[in-house]
């Protein structure tokens, strides 16, 4: 689909706020059991190896999975179940750069969570050093949370139902049948 076809999409072809909320709930339901298994595996590995590296890899794994799903399939499992696609201005799946920009708030939030999460362990110098940064990461998370809320609320009030992260990345969430 070229940019000209993107211009011809109807307003109802763009996915709105509540359907995106439903996709997020589906994501949680679909990913929850595998995520718990990964969490248990990586955390038991961290304790047995006496290293924070498996825990850090766990956070990286979830970021990479999210980016991979957007670049390769055009959406998260919840979006795909609901027949939504994330596309760029050219009507294609987002590039790696677009997917990274699109998920920048989530990536930053995950990094803050990782700092706080790893600091709870007392395994090596890594967790000891991260414990020094945990209060700042926690405070920054409290600042980031309302920014992310406003980001998502953009969907309800912008043309083509775009969140702030969609605008920054040049992406759109559309009904699969429209493309």
What's the domain count of the chain? 1
Q: Long-range contact list for 132-140, CB < 8 A, 24+ apart?
A: 137/111, 137/112, 137/113, 138/112, 140/112
Range of the domain at 104: 3-178
d(CA 136, CA 132): 8
93-140, pLDDT tens digit by residue?
999 999 999 999 999 999 999 999 999 888 888 888 899 999 999 999
pLDDT of residue 4: 61
In sequence order, which residues have a C-beta less than 8 Å from that of residue 113 and are 6 or more positions away?
Answer: 59, 137, 141
pLDDT of residue 35: 93
pLDDT of residue 179: 81
pTM of the model: 0.89
CA neighbours closer than 13 Å in the CB half-sphere of residue 171 = 28
Chain centroid offset of residue 166 CA: 12
**Residue ranges, the chain, pLDDT below 70:** 1-5
176 secondary structure, DSSP code: G
pLDDT of residue 171: 97
């Amino acid at each position: 689909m070229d940019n000209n076809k993107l211009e011809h999409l109807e307003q109802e072809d763009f996915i709105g706020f509540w359907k995106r909320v439903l996709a997020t709930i589906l994501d949680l339901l679909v990913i929850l059991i595998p995520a718990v298994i990964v969490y248990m595996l990586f955390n038991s590995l961290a304790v047995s190896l006496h290293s924070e590296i498996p825990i850090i890899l766990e956070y990286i794994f979830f970021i990479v999975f999210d980016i991979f799903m957007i670049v390769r399939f055009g959406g998260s499992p919840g979006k795909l179940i609901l027949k939504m696609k994330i596309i760029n201005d050219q009507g294609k799946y987002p590039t790696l750069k677009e997917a990274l920009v699109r998920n920048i708030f989530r990536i930053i939030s995950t990094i803050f969570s990782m700092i706080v999460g790893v600091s709870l362990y007392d395994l090596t110098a890594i967790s000891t050093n991260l414990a020094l940064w945990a209060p700042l990461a926690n405070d920054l998370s409290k600042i980031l949370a309302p920014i992310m809320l406003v980001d998502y609320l953009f969907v309800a009030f912008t043309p083509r139902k775009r969140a702030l992260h969609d605008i920054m990345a040049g992406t759109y969430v559309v009904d699969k049948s429209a493309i």
